Amino acid sequence: MKKSFVFLTTLITVVNLSVSAQSDSISFEADSSIDSSLVHIPGVSFYDLEFAYSEFAEFAKMVDKPYFVDFYATWCAPCKLMDELVYSDPEIADHVNANLLAYKVNVEFFDGMDISETYNVKQYPTILFFNSDGKMVGRESGLYSADGFRGLLKKYFP
């Protein structure tokens, strides 16, 4: 009986250590897979957190261009669709790249969290529209088609 108890206790300890080690390695792998670089989107040219947001806003004022800020997360399916269907649309890309500036904020990073907190962004994607003086002129959340996004550009930047 005593041998069975010792064997069972040892077995439970080994299993717990094994499960604990597996869960630690899983969370480490998940954490290390986060990439700080922005995935290149053919089409709209975005600035990202490599260029501090405050510097970006000052740059927009200096070059006298309106801009929009896209808040996204890598796990957000509608955000990925915006990249694939809207920002890669040639007509939208040409218009934005010629007339506006665009900034992408990954809310999974501390800088992105700070910026999203400043503007009370809680839903993704959220797009904020600013005039060339840095005054917010519009805010939209959710997935848009290319035509829908064209409408937003006309609405906020006539």
Catalytic residues: 76, 79
- Across the chain, the runs of DSSP E, i.e. the strands, are 67-72, 101-106, 126-130, 136-141
> Which residues contact residue 119 at a Cβ distance below 8 angstroms, ignoring those fewer than 6 apart?
69, 71, 126, 128, 136, 139
